[in-house]
């Protein structure tokens, strides 16, 4: 029986690159050592990683897309501890096309790591793995809008691709939930509330009142 495809629910508790490094920092103290240790496991196929969306573009303008793709071990040979993937969560590189003609760009968006594989890295250090601090949702503003998160703004193309994916998986179309999801997917980058509002579009105010005759 072939393995079933992964879903968003399957990887709900998987770790972002930033979360994985924080856990490993408890043992290795230095982030570059934590990244080296994790890269070694990924290259060896011992630790597992997936992307929420993978896009491959060749020089001829052809593109292929896939959701919840397991990232091959060989792809981790193409980055170092200084790669932007550790900040943005997106693993992007160029390689020779699978067709053997020219090159292609491979983009693994919103990378996540299987948590047990990350924690197993520090079993031999004698220290326990610490969970990264949970993010508390921002309270509903009663006055002026709070300052937006700092960092480079997410590109319009990436934000639109995320929103289309968010709609496909049945993401909740409330502003706070959509904003929270976008900021988790683009950790280290800026996603403003206004851009989420523009994507959601105009929404009806209030809910229709139910009468006793209605089921």
* Cβ–Cβ < 8 Å for 96, 139: no
Report the side by side order of strands in the sheet with 49-58. Answer: 63-70, 49-58, 103-113, 91-96
Tokens for 187, please give them. Answer: 């950790």
* Backbone dihedral angles phi then psi of residue 64, each to the nearest 5 degrees: -125, 145
Question: What span, in angstroms and rounded, lies between the C-alpha atoms of 20 and 27?
Answer: 12
- pLDDT value at residue 209: 47
Give 95's strand partners: 104
215 residues of the chain, pLDDT tens digit each: 445 677 888 888 999 999 999 999 988 889 999 999 999 999 999 899 999 999 988 877 778 889 989 999 999 999 899 999 999 999 999 888 776 678 889 999 999 999 999 988 887 665 555 555 555 555 555 444 455 566 788 888 888 887 887 787 777 788 888 888 888 777 778 889 999 899 988 765 544 444 444 44
Asked if 75 and 93 count as a contact pair (C-beta separation under 8 A), the reply is yes
Note whether 8 and 170 are within 8 A (CB): no
**If we measure between CA atoms, which residue out of 201, 110, 113 comes closest to residue 154?**
110
The position carrying tokens 């683009």 is 186
Measured between alpha carbons, how far is 65 from 188 in angstroms, rounded to an integer?
24
pTM for this prediction: 0.55
Give the Cα separation of 165 and 176 in Å (integer). Answer: 17
d(CA 160, CA 107): 15
């Amino acid at each position: 029986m072939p393995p079933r495809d992964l879903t968003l629910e399957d990887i709900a508790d998987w770790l972002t690159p930033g979360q994985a490094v924080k856990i490993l920092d408890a043992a290795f103290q230095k982030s570059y050592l934590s990244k080296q240790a994790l890269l070694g496991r990924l290259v060896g196929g011992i630790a597992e990683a997936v992307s929420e969306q993978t896009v491959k573009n060749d020089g001829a303008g052809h593109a292929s897309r896939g959701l919840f793709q397991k990232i091959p071990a060989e792809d981790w040979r193409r980055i170092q501890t200084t790669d932007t993937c550790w900040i943005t969560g997106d693993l992007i590189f160029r390689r020779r096309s699978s067709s053997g003609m020219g090159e292609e760009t491979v983009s693994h968006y919103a990378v996540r790591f299987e948590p047990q594989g990350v924690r197993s890295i520090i079993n031999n250090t004698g220290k326990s793995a610490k969970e990264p601090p949970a993010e508390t949702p921002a309270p509903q503003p009663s006055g002026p809008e709070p300052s937006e998160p700092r960092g480079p703004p997410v590109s319009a193309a990436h934000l639109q691709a995320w929103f289309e994916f968010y709609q496909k998986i049945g993401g909740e179309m409330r502003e706070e939930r959509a904003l929270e999801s976008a900021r988790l997917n683009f950790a280290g980058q800026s996603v403003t509330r206004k851009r989420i509002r523009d994507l959601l579009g105009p929404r009806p105010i209030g809910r229709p009142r139910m009468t006793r005759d209605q089921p």
